[in-house]
Amino acid sequence: MSTFILLTITGVGLGAMYFLIASGLSLIYGLMGVLNFAHGSFLTVGAYAAWEASTHVGGGPGTKLVVATLAALAAGGLVAALVELLLIRPLYRRPIEQVLVTVGLALALGALVEAIWGFDARQFPVPSWLIDTTTIFGAHIPNDRFLEIATAAIVLVGLTAFLRYTRYGLIIRAGVENRAMVTALGIDVRKAFTLVFALGGLAAALAGVLSGVYFGTIDPSRGTSLLIFAFIVVVIGGFGSIGGTAVAAVVVGLIQQYANYYASSGLGDLAVVLLLAVVLLLKPEGLSPKVAH
């Protein structure tokens, strides 16, 4: 029983990270139709900005983590907004070129990170209280899992409130359905595009920090490896749906954990791909298609 609880909470924690990456990816595709292969780079940039900041500030591990997170958010949000303004915006209505640019950017940013910080993994500064465990029904759960789950829950609530209660949220929800009609109401939807990219960058950078906490290290390929699962989450959840993305992220995280433990180590990834195939066969539009909510 304690093993099952540990696997479940760890799976939800992993799902929380997937959600943070996938939510931005989902909104960007849902609103703009841009398949952003550079989204994992926002995570990597955020993670390394966090690591770099933590090496330059004094104070305890908790202070370092807070400063590192702020640096990650600033870097992730800024890079994402610049990518939209400088590279994606000139290529509206040219989807193939957009995809090629995001693929090229992912490779270029990965190479840049490797050139600056090297290929080897770096130890991420994790406060000891996050490494400690809390016992729940006999299961010793590392505290970082709760941080990951709580962070994703706050982002989910915040994003949902933003989409539901703000003018820009209304524009994004409408734009996911029919972008041309939003402009035909006199709205400059390009501002919403930049905002969505920046929000996606912020969430991905946050995932970068949390992945450092979860794995204890960061490396240049972290964004790319997590992006694959984020894409699967988005396809299962439905492009443009935050709620669907959240559910799909948790399901993918749990299936990975259960399959790795109860079947065979390494089968988790295969189980996720099988789940994707089943969803595509039975519900190709995803769990909650094309409505941002």
Q: Which residues bind other proteins (CB under 8 A)?
A: 170-171, 173-174, 177-178, 180-189, 291-293
Residue with Cβ nearer other proteins (174 or 206): 174
In the complex, the smallest distance separating the C-beta of residue 173 from other proteins, rounded to whole angstroms, is: 6
Other residues' Cβ atoms within 10 Å of the Cβ of residue 260 = 18
- DSSP state, residue 123: E
Other residues' Cβ atoms within 10 Å of the Cβ of residue 290 = 16
Distance, in Å, from the CA atom of 196 to the CA atom of 156, rounded to the nearest integer, reads: 15
In the complex, the smallest distance separating the C-beta of residue 287 from other proteins, rounded to whole angstroms, is: 15
- Residue 161: phi, psi to the nearest 5? -65, -40
In the complex, the smallest distance separating the C-beta of residue 168 from other proteins, rounded to whole angstroms, is: 11
In the complex, the smallest distance separating the C-beta of residue 169 from other proteins, rounded to whole angstroms, is: 10
Residue with Cβ nearer other proteins (132 or 188): 188
In the complex, the smallest distance separating the C-beta of residue 250 from other proteins, rounded to whole angstroms, is: 23
Other residues' Cβ atoms within 10 Å of the Cβ of residue 170 = 16
The residue type found at 91 is L
Handedness of CA 238, 243, 247, 249 (dihedral sign): positive
Beta strands in 166-274 (DSSP E): 217-218
Residue with Cβ nearer other proteins (72 or 174): 174
Residue with Cβ nearer other proteins (186 or 284): 186
Residue with Cβ nearer other proteins (180 or 282): 180
